[in-house]
Amino acid sequence: MRVCAVHKNQIGRLIGAVFGLVFVLANAGAFPTAVAVPLRVLAILVFLKLFTGMRRKGAAPTEPDGTSDQTFGRGYRLAVAAEVLVGAGGLFVLARVLHVPEAAVGWIALVVGLHFFGLAVAWRMPAVHVLAAALTVCGAAGLALAGADAPHAAVAAVSGIAPGVLLLSAVAWTVRSQERPVTAAGPS
C-alpha cells in the first residue's frame, strides 16, 4: 500500500513540474530572443534536475505519521474538472465575447491557482494554500495588466513566467525536503 502512495506523490510532483515548465516555455516567447532562449534553457535544466531528483530520491511521506494524503480520488477529479470547465469557458468569453485574447495567460494562471485551493482541501495539505494564493495573485495581476493594455511581455512575465517559476520552485522544495529514502519496511 505504501508503494501506491509513493507513486501518487511522484506523479503529483511530476505534474507540477511539467506545468511549471510549460508555463515558462509557452510565455518566454513574449520576450526578445536574447531573453527567451535563456529562460527556456534554464526552465528545461531545472525540470531535468527535478526529474532526476524525483527518480533518485523517491517520495517521502508528507504527513508526520508517515502516511500520505495526496491521492487522485474524487476531490482531485472534481478540482481538475472544475479547472477545465471554468478555464475553457473563461477563455471562450475572453476571446469571443470580450475580445481580449491577450488576457488568456492571466485567466489560465488564475484558474490554475484557484484549482490548487481545491487540491489543498482534497489532499489535506494546508501548505498548498500558499502556492494556490501565489498563483491566483499572478493570474489576477495578469488579468489587470491585460485589461489596462499593458505590453504583452508584462502580462507574460506576471502570469506566465512567475507561475512557472512558482510551480518549479514548489516541486523543488518538496524534492529537497525529502529526508529519507522510502523503504519496503515502512517508517521506523
Q: Which three cell numbers stand for residue 48?
A: 531535468
Q: How far is CA 188 from CA 63, 83, 178, in A?
A: 14, 39, 15
Distance CA 107, CA 102 (A): 10
Distance CA 103, CA 142 (A): 7
In tens, the pLDDT along 94-106 reads 999 999 999 999 9
Q: How far is CA 13 from CA 10, 30, 47, 148, 176, in A?
A: 5, 27, 11, 35, 12
Domain ranges of the chain: 2-176
What angle in degrees, to the nearest 10, is found between the helix axes of 33-57 and 2-27?
170
What pLDDT sits at residue 1?
A: 41
Contact present, 180 and 59 (Cβ < 8 Å): no
In tens, the pLDDT along 133-176 reads 999 999 999 999 999 999 999 999 999 999 999 999 999 998 88
In tens, the pLDDT along 45-91 reads 999 999 998 887 654 444 444 444 457 889 889 999 999 999 999 99
In tens, the pLDDT along 144-153 reads 999 999 999 9
Q: Is residue 9 over pLDDT 80?
A: no
* Segments in the chain forming alpha helices (H): 2-27, 33-57, 74-92, 104-122, 128-147, 152-156, 162-176
Q: Classify 124 in phi/psi space as left (phi over 0), alpha (psi -120 to 50) or beta.
A: left
Distance CA 61, CA 68 (A): 5
Distance CA 135, CA 142 (A): 11
Q: Is residue 92 over pLDDT 60?
A: yes
